[in-house]
Each structure stands twice: as C-alpha cells, then as structure tokens.
A and B are shown apart, each in its own frame.
Chain A
Amino acid sequence: MATPQWPKMEKRALLGKRISRLDGPVKATGQAKYAYDMNRPGMLYARCCFAPYGAMKINGIDASAAEKAPGVRAVLVEQNMIGDEVRYVGQILATVAADTEEQAHEALRLIKVDFERLDMVLDDMNPANATGKPSGKEEGTVDDAMAAAKVVSEGEYGIPVITHCCLEAHGQVSEFKDGEMTFWPSTQSVSAYAEGMDQSIEVEQSKIHVDCQYMGGGFGSKFSHDQWGVIGALLSKQTGRPVKLMLERDQELMVAGNRPSAFGKVRVAVSPEGKMTAIDADVWGTGGNGGYRMPPVPYVFEGIPNVRNKGQGIKTNRGSQRAWRAPSHPQGCFITMAAVEDAAAAAGIDALEFFKNNLDLTSRPEVYAEQLDIAAELIGYKTKAHLRGQGEGPVRRGIGISIHTWGGMGHPSNCDAIINPDGSVEIRLGTQDLGSGTRTVVGIVAAETYGLPLEAITVSMGNNKYPFSSASGGSTTVGGVSSSTRIACTNALNALLEVVAPRLGVAPEALEVAGGKIFESAKPGNSIAWKDACGLMGPNPITKQGANEQKASQDLKLIDAGVGGVQMADVSVDIETGVVTLNEMVAVQDCGLIVDLKTAESQVYGGLIMGITYALYEEALYNHKTGRMLNGDLEFYRLAGLKDIGQLKVHMMTTEKYDSRGVIGLGEPPVISPGAAISNAVANAAGVRVPHLPLTPERVIVALQKGGILV
C-alpha cells in the first residue's frame, strides 16, 4: 500500500526539481484570460463615483442626469451614504453601468453630490494623534538593564503606508442569468469568494458560481468580494446584463489595499559582552480607516530578557489597511533590525559578529547561524565589510544584514483525485493560483505520487464547484494543497492497487509505483504499465478525497510551520546627491521540503524585488488638507524597474535536515527583510542612520546633514 508520507529524497522523480510552471505557455502567449479580460455578450461597463475628499458629510446624491446620459443602463446610488460621513477618499458614492466604458465615464461627471467638508486626520507620523487603545507588555527590569549596560543606543525609525498596487486592478465580471449568479473575479479566495454575499445580492449560496483561472496579483488585498463585488452583482440583476466593474488605477491605489505604516522610538541596551540585554520600544502607525495591530518589536530576537513595548494606532482618513504580504512583519523587522544594527554600531562591533553573538535570543539559532555564514560567503562579506562610517570618497559602499521568520503552515484544503479507466488523472480542488505556482505544485505532487510525467496530470482548480480550499494568504497554500493532493492521490492509488494486486499475484502492500508502472517492490520485473493497470478498473473512475488537517498532516511530516531566512544587501550611497544604488542582494531561505525549486526561487527573487521597491521608492502620499492621494498613478507611485534591482542571489536550504520537516509556505518570508537589510547597508555606508523608508535622496541628504557628514 502506498503511504501519504513524502518519498525519500533519493526516490523522487519530480519533487524538488526545477520545473517550469504549467501555465507558463498560456501566460507567455497572452492567451490567459483574467477577470479584466472577460468579455460577455451584451456586457455593460461599470465605473464608480468616489468621494473626492477624505472627510465629508453627504447630504444628497442626485444621479438623475447621469441616468439619462447616452448609453447608461443603470446607476446605483449608495443610499446609506446619504446623511452619513465619508471617512476616506475613494469611498464609493454611486456606480454607473453603461454600454461602453467611455459612456460610463462621461455619466459619472453628471452625478451631483451635495456635501460639506469635515475635518480630517492624515498625519500618522505624530504619535499625539493616536486614539486607539495601546497594546504592549513589560517583561523583566528594563530600566535596571539599561543602567547596567555598556552602551544604550537610541533611534527613531519609520516605514510609511504603501499600497498593494496589483497590476490587475480589483474587480470582477458578474452575470445574473436564470436566477443564478456567475462571477469572474480577480481573487485570492475562489472557494470562499461568495461567503457573506448571498444576503446582499439575494441569490442563494448554491446558485453563485465563481471562476478565476488567472489573476493579476493580490499580495493580500484580494480576499473579499468587496463592496464592488456586491455592486457589480446588483447592477447585473437590475439590468439583466453582464457587468464588468474593474477599479481605475487611482481608486485601486487609494482604497484597494494599504499596508499599515509603523514609526518607532527604540532603545537597545548592550552588555560588555556584546549581548542585547534590554529593549524599549514605542511604536505607532496607521491602518487608515481600519484597525491597527502593533508590529512585533522586538522581532526574531524575542529572547531579549528585558522588554518594554507599546503600540498604538492612529485612525486616519484614508483607505483601510489590508493584509500585505507578511502582515506586520516587514514593519517589525525593519524597526527591530535597524535598532539592532544601530546597537552594534554604537558598541563598535561588526554587525555580522553582533548578529551571531545574539542568535541565542532567537528561536532558531542554528538555522540563522548556518544561513548567516552562507549569505556572508555569497556577498563576499569578509572582503567588503567595514564598521559603520568607515567608507571614504563621494560614493560609499556598505553592507547590511537582516533576519526574519514566518509560520507558513498549510491551510485547510480538500481535494478530489480521479483516476480514469483510460489511465488519465484529474485533480480537482477549489484553490487558486496567484502566480505563485499553485497549479504546478498540485500537478507535481500528483505526478510524483503516481510515477507519471507531469503532462499526464490534469489540474482542475479556480472554480468553486471543486472541493473547498482556503484562501491564499500567509504562505499557507502550498502546504495546504500539497498535503490534500498527496493524501487524495494516495487514497485513489491504494484503491487502484487493490484492483491490480490479483493480476500481479501479490498483496497490494507489496506493490509500488514509479516510471509509469505498477510493480512488486521485491521483484520489479513483476509489473504492469499504468495504463493497462487502469484498464482493469472497469467502467467507473476511482475518485477519492483527501483533506489537509493540520495536526494529522504535521504528524505525517507532510507539512510544518516556522522558517528562518537571512538577507544581506550591498549598496552604494552617493553622499553628495543622496542617491542610493543597490549593487547586490543575497537571500538565504529555508522553507522545508521544496516541491518545485524553480517557482520557489521565483518567490524569493520576487520578494527581494518587492522589498527593494518599498525600501527605496514606495510611499503613498496624501494631501493633508483634502485627503487626496497625491501619487495615485504608476508614474509617481514608483515601482522598481529592471535597472533598479542590482544583482540578486538566492540560496534555498535544501538539505535533508530542512527537507524532512515537510512543506512550509514561502510567499511571505523573502519580502520581510529587504527594508531592514537595505537600510542597514545605507547606514553602514553613509555613517548615519536614515531613519525613514523609502530611502529617497532627500531623506539621505537630510540624514547626512544631521549627522554632520554633509555640511
């Protein structure tokens, strides 16, 4: 009998190899159809009229002129907003559905909104604006430890609100027909997309169909059907026509995903032995109109014996925060690792030595020690490193270090494995592929389990008619679907082995499968080809279900949680212009058993690049008087381009020690450290901490002037 545990490393045909993603060709040829690309017969285009100020009292919304405009089929006014207050710019007030996009756009201009402006709060850098209940803790005797320290370093750090900026805007096509509603959304949650929607659109849950084969980026912002999902459905019901509602770029950047900011004042005590003995952190920031959770400070170095921290949120008149790849971690990591590096510099200790000397304060000292050595080797630390501020000349080079962690436990997932009498195999599950390679992972696990080539497997997913699989967030998908697929495939295989065993004259327990054959383990010559074996099944396919139940799967070592990663950055700082150039970045990452090394490495490269972007360029800027976003486009909301990323090196931990833990998620970890590593590199090069990200020339110059380096 086949068992669900992963095969031993030396027995694997596909697992852990570099395999091209299954949907690569359809994407590279432009044939992949995203929500934005769905064109249905008779489809209308919807556009939203949104609040132009961050705080308004709405007295009335008059859409009568818009309703009569050419091509307009329906206008949906947000009646509940009348008499209510707008709390952030971009809040939807009405939506127009028209025959063409141009007509919808034109009609928006005819909507008259009667309003009064209200006062608003936009400043999240001032802790005095905090209104939320403070959270935090006090452990040990912080003040005593500070008093006994050899050095107490003190710093201020900040990381602003940034956006998710998915290239495919949020939205969907909705089509109401014969009492049933079909959605083609851009979503991270196919199975649960319609949850909680049935009441607002008055369509039973069982009559809501969801299909999303490809989606253009989510990064944590596309879990919900959102207000526009309901609006699109209502407009389709009202007009009897399919409706496409995709947010425009400015609205996408304002309301469809903000990462909370974090600012902090931190003190770190260092003992004469170079150990961190105490940390005192005061942290604040904004989740916009949403809530605020204090980022973890201290981060990773959670074993610092004396800790006092306090966190408080500032409610501001801007769009609500959404989960952004590794929620809270990039912020907590940046504030902590910058403070740690400042402490090392204040104590006059080499940063790498300081990190290593304090690893016993982390929960994975051995992993980090191994990874720090690998990263140091890859970046050439020995030859390039110097103490802070020892660079010379107008362009100064420096290295920065950061370490991070993440959970990544596989989420609840169900899967059907189907073996057909003709030998074909289909795997069905209601998961989604965000571009992380989920489809390919499922195919690899199935092919490995059946000893078949990857092309022999049909992976059916991205539709809510398939078995429920959870939303893709928090690096939980690959663990979840690998486990459910492996279990379902094993169950189906065992049913097939029962059928085949008599033919080979042995018990099913004596059989195994590899290379397209089922054979007796002790006598491999006693075999039958896969296709012939399936021919013995009779007319009905074998369908078996598998479920990822976290505890059970963890016991089987199919999945696990908790990883470590180290990143180092090598930068040049032009101290006359303040321009930071990223020369090189190294990422060393553990993620347990790797299903597909190629797409796994892509996650890490992608994390590095996204991290470089928020370290050097990204910031959502708002006018404090109007509440409007000043850079709600892709020209001034800058993303890194090909020229900005320097040389990147990725090293995955693939040895047996890591592999034997099972599959652990990878999407979040690599994006956590770049801000800290790059900021630390800039401090190392420039000789002074630039307290706030992104590290724009202006900020670098100001810091150099304050530090007396540029006069």
Chain B
Amino acid sequence: MADSTKTTRGSGLSRRGFLKGISAGGVATGLVGGAAVQHGKVVEAAPAVVGPGDTAIKLKINGEVKSLTVEPRTTLLDALRNRLDITGAKKVCDRGTCGACTLWIDGQPAYACSVLAIDAEDSEITTIESLGTPERMTALQQAFVNNDAQQCGFCTPGMIMACEAFLKENPSPTRDQVRDGISGNLCRCGTYHGIIDAVLEAAKTMKGGA
C-alpha cells in the first residue's frame, strides 16, 4: 500500500466516499485536487498542500477543541489514541472492517481508522467518552450491562457507538433490523445474542417503556 507523505488539507472528498471500503493510504491519492460533494453542498477544492511531517491541526472532540500535530497520513483513530489519549475507540483491523473504532462524525457513525485526522478538522467528533459514565450510563449502556452484551469488552465501545446511532435512526427496531443494522461490527467472544437483546431493551427504555 502506498503511503501518503504529501496530501491536501480540507479536501472535499465526502466521508461516505471514504467508507466505501478503501484504505486510508489509497484514499490519500484520490484526495488531491478536484471538487466533491460534502454535506450536500458542492465544496470548491482550494487545497493548501501540507506535509510531509508534522502538521498542526485542531479537532473538535466531544465539544472541546484540541490542538495537536499529526502527520498528514495519521488516521483520526491514531490521532485520538496516540496524541490525545482518548482510547475508547479501539484499533483492531485498522482497515474499516470490524467496527471497533466506530465513533460519530457530525452525528453519523464512522470508522475512525478510515478517516485521516486532517480531514476531520471541520467536523464535530463524538467518541464514547462523551456518553455515559459508569455511574450514569445511557439506557443502551445499562442494557448492555443488564443483558451481558460484552465479555472481553474490546469491541464494546464501537458496538455502543454503532448501536446508539442505529437507535437514533430506528427507535423501534425489530430483531431482524438490529441484526442488519449492527452487522458492521464484529465481536470475537460471541456476545451478539446479548447485543440484540440489549438494543431491543434500550429501545423500549428510551421510549419510557422500561
């Protein structure tokens, strides 16, 4: 895989394009120049060339603006974990397959391993750290505990972020809809049975049906 040592900042490739299963290195090449649709608007690309080497950026994470330096090729996942010590999102496949690094970008679930940090500059990034705490969990997190939807727990933060986003779009899901909706997240311990029950329980609780 080719590594990007030089790329552009604030390029207009949509996140959706990113997530179509291409790796971060491959994407970088496709970034240079051109216009693309982002958030439904046509964005003119006026790329300032950055890199190679450290580049100062600002990321808005859980409502807080953080300044940091990254290489242009640094993924959002590595920026969070290695530069900012925000470790809820996990690094497992690093190829956009397993969902363990799922977080939200502008409210939409995304794989942090498949987004470059420099391309997340103008977005609102939400990680599991901004949801509940052990003392005050969200309805879904509580349902994960109640239904033992976790064993080793390594896939759990990504699962939670995917399931919370799924419930926003599908407040009254059926069992089969949960199976479809969360099929992008993998677990090795085999907690899927509990996860389905947890999502269904949380949907009920969130509607006040406890």
Interfacial residues, chain A to chain B (CB-CB below 8 A) = 20-21, 23-34, 36-37, 39, 45, 100-102, 105-106, 165-169, 214-217, 219, 246, 248-249, 434-437, 598-599, 601-602, 605-610, 613, 633-635, 639-643, 645, 648
Contacts and interface: CB of A to CB of B under 8 A. Distances in A.
Contacts of A437: 151
A595 to B, nearest CB: 14
Given A30-B156, A45-B82, A169-B92, 19 more contacts: A28-B132, A29-B134, A30-B127, A37-B81, A100-B82, A102-B71, A167-B187, A216-B154, A246-B91, A248-B94, A249-B92, A249-B95, A602-B148, A605-B191, A606-B191, A639-B186, A639-B187, A642-B179, A645-B193
A464 B190 CA distance: 29
Interface in B186-205: 186-196
B182 A642 contact: yes
A643 B97 contact: no
B88 to A, nearest CB: 3
A60 B48 CA distance: 43
A633 B137 contact: no
Interface of chain B, helix or strand or loop or mixed? loop
B92 A29 contact: no
B78 A605 contact: no
B92 A167 contact: yes
Given A605-B194, A606-B190, A20 B85 contact: no
Interface stretch (B7-15, B30-38, B138-146): B138-146
Q: Which of B97, B98, B148, B179 has the most CB of A within 10 A?
A: B148
B128 interface: yes
A216 B90 contact: yes
A555 B176 CA distance: 49
A643 B180 contact: yes
Contact of B153 (A39, A214, A609): A214
Contacts of A608: 190
A21 to B, nearest CB: 6
A435 B192 contact: no
Interface in B69-112: 71, 73-74, 78, 81-82, 85, 87-95, 97-98, 100
B178 interface: yes
Contacts of B179: 642-643
Contacts of B93: 249, 633-635
20 contacts: A20-B145, A21-B148, A24-B144, A28-B142, A31-B129, A34-B90, A36-B90, A39-B81, A101-B82, A102-B78, A105-B3, A167-B155, A214-B152, A246-B91, A602-B148, A605-B193, A606-B190, A642-B195, A643-B183, A648-B193
Interface string B11-27: 00000000000000000
Q: Which of B3, B135, B150 has the most CB of A within 10 A?
A: B150
A28 B92 contact: no
B149 to A, nearest CB: 8
Contact of B188 (A24, A167, A648): A167
A609 B141 contact: no
Contacts of B73: 102
Contacts of A102: 71, 73-74, 78
A27 B95 contact: no
Given A36-B91, A106-B3, A167 B183 contact: no
Contacts of A20: 145-146, 148
Nearest to B148: A602
A42 to B, nearest CB: 13
Contacts of B3: 105-106
A645 B197 CA distance: 14
Contacts of A105: 3
A216 B152 contact: yes
Contacts of A167: 90, 92, 98, 100, 152, 154-155, 186-188
A28 B87 contact: no
A610 B188 CA distance: 7
A27 B153 contact: yes
Nearest to A611: B190
B97 A216 contact: no
B52 to A, nearest CB: 10
A115 to B, nearest CB: 23
